[in-house]
């Protein structure tokens, strides 16, 4: 029995309206406050590596094409918020840099509307939990939150540290220290009303679960610096905290299917982040040796704008025709 042509046409119209409504909603809704322009990522070498930042920026471009966010990565390898350093850090070449030394300059130049901050991995300096090391971390995080509040940032979101995978002990070595750091940070949601996105425990659970089937499975060859899957787990935890529906996504690219040219967008974001993170570190200054020299900001800005034009062209060419 064939459906009446009138019902078919009405059904087709209804589907079209639903699609148009959904697409419009995706363009206008946002996980960030109105008028948000600059989103800053503070952290150590994991943030500097930046794959999770690229995943998040690519996602925002694909899902919120009418928004225009400048994602600024100023992660600095080896950095702490506690001010602690091992006596033989980097084989004795230099002590760990301390965020206290550069934060004022970073905030003055970036003027962020939203800040994500990821510290803890370096702050316990790879040793068992001890109050003499734990206290400076807590004090450093409280100082950081106070300084960020002074900027008038619309949202301040702290991240629990990623998982640590000890060569011999797995998640039962230094990761136990990071468990304590993460639990304290998560407790500040209630005690100080902080925003805290949990990265640590989802990564730990994922790693432990994978180890049941494959004892040799690793998210980080050196136990610290995550591979691409690990970075996606960080990005996924952040996006879920922001209310995005990515719980079942196996990787970043699978979440970008809303745009048929998602791979191009991600490639352009990757290129731009590689240029800008070094330019920002160069412009804001730091005490960490052995870093790449960034481009002067004026030159980096020109490259930023050129890539932005390419991204906006892709968005225009892939927008649904009304």
Question: The CATH number of the domain where 110 resides is what?
Answer: 3.40.50.1110
Within a domain: 45: yes
Domain membership of residue 202 as a residue range: 33-318
189-248 pLDDT tens trace: 999 999 999 999 999 999 999 999 999 999 999 999 999 999 999 999 999 999 999 999
Average pLDDT over every residue of 92-100: 97
* pLDDT of residue 9 exceeding 60: no
Residues 6+ apart with CB under 8 A from 165: 171, 175, 207, 218, 219, 220, 223, 224
Within a domain: 133: yes
Within a domain: 257: yes
Average pLDDT over every residue of 16-33: 54
Distances in whole angstroms, Cα of residue 71 to Cα of each of 37, 64, 110, 236, 293: 9, 14, 10, 17, 20
Average pLDDT, the chain: 92
Return the DSSP state at 295: P
Within a domain: 304: yes
Residue-level pLDDT at 15 = 41
Within a domain: 24: no
Within a domain: 20: no
Residues 199-202: contacts with CB under 8 Å, at least 24 apart: 199/118, 199/159, 199/160, 199/161, 199/162, 199/233, 199/234, 199/237, 199/238, 200/120, 200/160, 200/161, 200/162, 200/163, 201/160, 202/233, 202/236, 202/237
**Binning pLDDT at 50, 70 and 90, where does residue 10 land?**
low
Average pLDDT over every residue of 274-290: 98
**Binning pLDDT at 50, 70 and 90, where does residue 319 land?**
confident
Q: How far apart are the C-alpha atoms of 148 and 104, rounded to whole Å?
A: 10
* Predicted TM-score (pTM) of this structure: 0.91
Residue 272 structure tokens: 């731009």
* pLDDT of residue 23 exceeding 50: no
Check if the beta carbon of residue 272 is closer than 8 Å to that of residue 304.
yes
CB-count burial class (<10 Å; 0-12, 13-18, 19+) for 226: buried
Check if the beta carbon of residue 234 is closer than 8 Å to that of residue 58.
no
Residue-level pLDDT at 322 = 54
Within a domain: 226: yes
Residue-level pLDDT at 161 = 98
Check if the beta carbon of residue 228 is closer than 8 Å to that of residue 206.
no
Report how many domains make up the chain: 1
153-172 pLDDT tens trace: 999 999 999 999 999 999 99
* pLDDT of residue 14 exceeding 80: no
Residue-level pLDDT at 150 = 98
Within a domain: 206: yes
Residue-level pLDDT at 29 = 75
């Amino acid at each position: 029995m064939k459906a009446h042509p009138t019902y078919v046409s009405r059904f087709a119209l209804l589907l079209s309206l639903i699609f148009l409504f959904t697409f419009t909603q995706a363009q206008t809704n946002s996980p960030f406050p109105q008028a948000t322009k600059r989103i800053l990522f503070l952290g150590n070498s994991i943030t500097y590596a930046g794959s999770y930042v690229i995943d998040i920026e690519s996602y925002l471009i694909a899902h919120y094409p009418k928004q225009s966010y400048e994602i600024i990565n100023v992660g600095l390898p080896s950095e702490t918020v506690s001010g602690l350093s091992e006596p033989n850090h980097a084989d004795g070449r230099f002590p760990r840099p301390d965020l206290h030394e550069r934060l004022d300059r970073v905030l003055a130049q970036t003027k962020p509307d939203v800040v994500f901050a990821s510290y803890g991995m370096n702050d316990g300096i790879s040793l068992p939990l001890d109050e003499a090391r734990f206290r400076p971390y807590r004090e450093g995080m409280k100082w950081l939150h106070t300084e960020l509040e002074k900027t008038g940032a619309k949202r301040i979101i702290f991240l629990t540290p990623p998982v640590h995978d000890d060569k011999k002990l797995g998640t039962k070595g230094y990761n136990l220290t990071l468990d304590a750091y993460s639990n304290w940070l998560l407790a500040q949601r209630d005690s100080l009303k902080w925003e805290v996105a949990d990265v640590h425990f989802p990564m730990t659970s994922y790693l432990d679960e994978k180890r049941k089937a494959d004892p040799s499975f690793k998210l980080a060859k050196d136990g610290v610096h995550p591979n691409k899957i690990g970075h996606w787990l960080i990005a996924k935890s952040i996006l879920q905290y922001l209310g995005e529906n990515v719980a079942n996504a196996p990787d970043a690219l699978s979440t970008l299917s809303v745009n048929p040219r998602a791979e191009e967008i991600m490639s352009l974001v990757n290129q731009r982040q590689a240029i800008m993170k070094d330019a920002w570190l160069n412009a804001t200054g730091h005490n960490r040796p052995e870093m790449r020299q960034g481009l002067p900001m004026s030159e980096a800005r020109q490259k930023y704008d050129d890539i932005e034009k390419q991204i906006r062209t892709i968005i225009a060419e892939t927008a649904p025709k009304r």
